[in-house]
Amino acid sequence: MSAANSPKQRIWLTGATSGIGRALALRLLDQGHQVALSARSEEALETLAAGRDNALILPLDVADREAVRCCGDTLAERFGSLDLAILNAGTCEYLDAGHFDVDLVERVFAPNFFGTLYCVDAALPLLRQARGEGRKPLLAATSSASAYLAFPRAEAYGASKAALSYFLESLRLDLHGEGIAISLIHPGFVKTPLTDRNDFAMPMRVTAEQAADAILSGLAKRRLDIHFPRRFTLLVKLAGILPPGLRLRLGLRMTRDTGAPDHASESSS
């Protein structure tokens, strides 16, 4: 999706002020698209959109279902329809199995799974409107390479992303007849304020700008699965189809190689 070969689109991007989301926002705005930017911090959104007539700021906590519904109403009023929705907002906390915390799991699922579904619910009527206008709408959501393979301490994060990937792959089948496509984004490790807090090795980590380039390239080609860096994600995919015993041995090696974090972190993807 480059400025040279893509018509200007009406786009909704969540998780827009940090990490991958911010890099995507800058790329899309620079390309001249009309971009509705959502994140929890209104101040950060205003800074991001400063001086850009093609930016619409919509402060939003995606875990607030009523707030998402109202955001959808505003999008309908301002844009009329959507060519592309990139649902990128999310959070990560690591679970210490020795102090099992169901509240932590619920906190992670709230934005990563249910929050994304609330946004799907808000975006679908606008994507359908675009289809009715003869365009080819696309819904994209940020999952994670952890959806391919279980990682230590990632019970909450990985499960929320795996649930999201399954849900949207299933929805893709049911929306196919309507002409609404779905792209799933499965990043490996990306250097963001969130991952900067991690205390374990992050092989083949890429920058947020590299991630944005990979995502926009994949969206332009309407890829079903946008995963990167491919050397890493292909290895994770391969490991994910190993027999259970081998997956267990691999996972135990990763457990020994990593220490339990002494923090919990929360941010947009």
Residue 180, number of CB atoms within 10 A of its CB: 20
Alpha helices in 87-205, H assignment, sequence order? 102-109, 116-132, 155-175
Cα–Cα distances (Å) from 187 to 112, 134, 142, 224, in that order, read 14, 31, 8, 14
Distance CA 248, CA 245 (A): 5
Half-sphere exposure of 242 (CA within 13 A, CB side): 17
Is there a cis peptide before residue 187, judged by omega within 30 degrees of 0? no
For the chain, how far is it from start to end, CA to CA, in angstroms? 20
Active-site positions read: 157
